[in-house]
Every structure is written in structure tokens, then in C-alpha cells.
Amino acid sequence: CLSKGLGAPVGSLLVGNLAHIDKARRLRKVMGGGMRQAGFLAAAGVYALDHNVERLKEDHLRAEKLATVLEGLSFTARVYPVETNIILWSIAPEVGSSQVLDLLRQQGILASEFGKNVIRLVTHLDFKDGDLKACIESIENIKV
């Protein structure tokens, strides 16, 4: 996915042999997928691949740092292993993710629910070290 960390507005890549790609194209058409005149979006994807792959490591490191902080919170049930720039954070059932999401929103932190009492946080191209510091400070100050 080119938009999840590489900064492209949309787009995904599928890699495989010719038979696999042909099958995927057919399934995409059957499901109604496809875009006309999508060259400018493809150009954004090419730019992202040329300029943003190496810096994605920074997003992954920031995600790991944030996950470490989340693990120490009293209302954290579990932080799933961080492998990319996506953090899945399980909230203690007695607190619930709705309450935590509201408190995060009040602090200017946007996150989404990803199942029962699981919150999804994503670091990205525009999330810098200063943002990480502010995010950690805000999260550490949440009282439930």
C-alpha cells in the first residue's frame, strides 16, 4: 500500500507471476475496481517509491517508541508486536476503547477503533520527532 507510510494519496502494488497478476486484474474488474486516467495518481506512487521508502524506517522506529510508552500505561491490556508503522493497542475492558479514543481526540490525537477495545495508531510521513514527543506527553497525561 503506497498510502500507508509512503505518502502517496492512493495506490497499492501487487507482485506476482503473470498468471497471478492476470487473475487479480480479472477479480478487480469483476468487483468493479479500476480508474480511468489515473496517470497522475500513478506518478504520485512512483514519487513515493523513489523518495520515501528509505525514510519509512523512521516511521517504524517512532511506532516502536510509542508502543513502548503504551505498554506502561495502567489501562493497557496489551500492545501487539510492532512490525511496521502501525500500532495495535488493546485497552483494558473495564476502561474500554471508546473512552480512550475520546480522551485522545481531546488531546488532538486521531486514532481509530480496530476491533473490540483495540485502538489503531499509525505513524507516517508527516509525523516527526517533535510530534512523537508531544503525542507521548499527551498520552502519558491521560487519566481514566
For 44-95, the pLDDT digits (tens) are 999 999 999 999 999 999 999 999 999 999 999 999 999 999 999 999 999 9
**CA 6 → CA 27, 56, 58, 83, 87, distances in Å?**
26, 7, 11, 16, 17
Grid coordinates in use for 20? 497471478
pTM across the whole model: 0.83
The answer on pLDDT for 101 being more than 90 is yes
Determine the number of helices (DSSP H) and then strands (DSSP E) in the chain.
Answer: 5, 4
- Angle of helix 129-140 relative to helix 56-71, nearest 10 degrees? 10
Grid coordinates in use for 18? 503473470
What does the pLDDT read at residue 10?
87
Amino acid identity of residue 120, one-letter, is R
